[in-house]
């Protein structure tokens, strides 16, 4: 019997957890009235990189999340608050449009 190699599942966009964390980063930055360039400078990254974090285009590493928590004055757990509701929403079946 021949065994096929396991294929990696292809991703279609960011994970719901990554999206949630990205939103929490953006919300907190706005709450503190910080611009992307200001926060990026504090983190030692470009504002384009921060933009990618906030749009969940780039994943945020654990060490970067820790740096963000310090820069934004919140515990790391802040970024995961409300995650259960976000995941429940992501699990709902998507509606199909009727026309077409």
Summarised one tens digit per residue, pLDDT across range 1-29 is 555 555 555 657 888 999 999 999 999 99
Would you say residue 45 lies in a domain? yes
CATH of the domain at 80: 1.10.260.40
Instruction: Count the domains in the chain.
Output: 1
Would you say residue 91 lies in a domain? no
Distance CA 30, CA 75 (A): 17
Would you say residue 11 lies in a domain? no
Q: Which pLDDT value is given to residue 14?
A: 87
Distance CA 97, CA 100 (A): 7
Structure-model confidence comparison of residues 99 and 79, the more confident one: 79
pLDDT in tens, 34-86: 999 999 999 999 999 999 999 999 999 999 999 999 999 999 999 999 998 87
Would you say residue 7 lies in a domain? no
Q: Which residues contact 87 (CB under 8 A, 6 or more apart)?
A: 16, 17, 20
Query: What is the domain range of residue 62?
Result: 16-84
Would you say residue 26 lies in a domain? yes
Would you say residue 53 lies in a domain? yes
């Amino acid at each position: 019997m021949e065994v096929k190699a396991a294929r990696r599942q292809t991703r279609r966009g960011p994970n719901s957890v990554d999206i949630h964390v990205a939103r929490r980063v953006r919300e907190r930055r706005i709450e503190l009235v910080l611009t992307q360039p200001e926060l990026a400078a504090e983190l030692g990254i470009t504002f384009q990189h921060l933009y990618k974090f906030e749009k969940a285009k780039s994943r945020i590493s654990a060490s970067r999340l820790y740096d963000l928590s310090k820069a934004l004055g919140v515990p790391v757990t802040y970024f995961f608050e409300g995650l259960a509701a976000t995941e429940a929403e992501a699990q709902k079946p998507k509606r199909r449009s009727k026309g077409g």
